[in-house]
Amino acid sequence: MTITTIQEGSLAKSSTLNNNFQDLQNQITTVSATTTLINQSISSLTSNISTISATVASNALNSFQLSQNNTISGTNIFSGDVIFTGNITRSWGSSTISASEPAVIVESYKSTSSASGYNIYSNGFCEQWGTQLWETVGATYNISLLNKYKDTNYCLLTSSNSNYLGLNSRGGTSQGLIIDEETISVSTGGPTTNGVGNPAVGYSISWFTFGYLN
C-alpha cells in the first residue's frame, strides 16, 4: 500500500484518506521497530567495548611490577596492599612461570628452644631446620626429618656454631649429605677449643633443608 497523492483544493474519498493514514502508520511502526533494533545493537556494542577495555586493562596491569608505588600520570593507582587472585603469568627470557595465589603457611612447628622446626606451605613447599650437638671427634650424625620430601632433589645447608655453649671453640667446618627423602647426615672437621688442638665440647652444627613434599 502506498500514499495516494491528492491535488490541492480537490476533494478526496474517505477511503483514500484512510488508506493514506494507514500507510503512514505502517511506516511509523517500521521506523520505530528499526530504532529499537539500532538501540539494541548500540547496547550490545557498548557491552563488548566494556569487556574489551577490562581485558586490556587487566593485561596492562600484568605488564609491569605491581606495588603500592605505581603511578599513572603522577597519580598513585593503588592504596593499601596489592593482592592477586586467580592465575598470574610472568616471563623471564624464554621461560614462562605461572603462579597461583601466593603460598601461605598451613602447618608450622618449632621446638621449645626453637633449635628445630619446620614450615609447610599451601603449595607443598617445606622448610625444615635443626641443630646437632657435636660430641665425638670425627663423628657423622644421621638425622631423620620430620617431613618426607617427594624426592632427593631438595636442598641442604649446614653451618658450624663454634660458640654454642660459650666455650669459644674455633677451627671447625660443617658438612652435610642428603641420604634419601627423609634422612640427612651432618659431620664436622675437628674444631679446637681455644685454639690449642683439643676437641671442642659443645660445638654444634646447624642445618636447614627446603624443597617440595609433593
Are the beta carbons of 212 and 150 closer than 8 angstroms? yes
- Provide the pLDDT confidence category of residue 154 given band limits of 50, 70 and 90: very high
Q: What is the pTM assigned to this prediction?
A: 0.49
Q: Where are the domains of the chain?
A: 13-101, 105-212
105-212 fold: Immunoglobulin-like (2.60.40)
More confident residue, 138 or 30: 30
**Helix (H) or strand (E) segment spanning residue 133:** strand 125-134
- pLDDT winner (highest mean) among 1-5, 33-37, 84-88, 164-168: 33-37
pLDDT tens figures, 47-101? 888 888 777 776 655 544 444 555 555 565 555 555 555 555 544 444 444 555 7
Q: Give CA–CA dist 180/184, Å, rounded.
A: 7
Instruction: Please name the residues in contact with 11: beta carbons below 8 A apart, sequence gap of 6 or more.
Output: none
- Provide the pLDDT confidence category of residue 209 given band limits of 50, 70 and 90: very high
Please state the length of the chain. Answer: 214
Are the beta carbons of 178 and 156 closer than 8 angstroms? yes
Q: Give CA–CA dist 6/201, Å, rounded.
A: 125
pLDDT at 193 over 90: no
Q: Give CA–CA dist 160/192, Å, rounded.
A: 12
* pLDDT mean across residues, the chain: 74
- By C-alpha distance, which of 142, 136, 140, 143 is closest to 191? 136
Are the beta carbons of 179 and 141 closer than 8 angstroms? no
Query: What does DSSP assign to residue 29?
Result: H
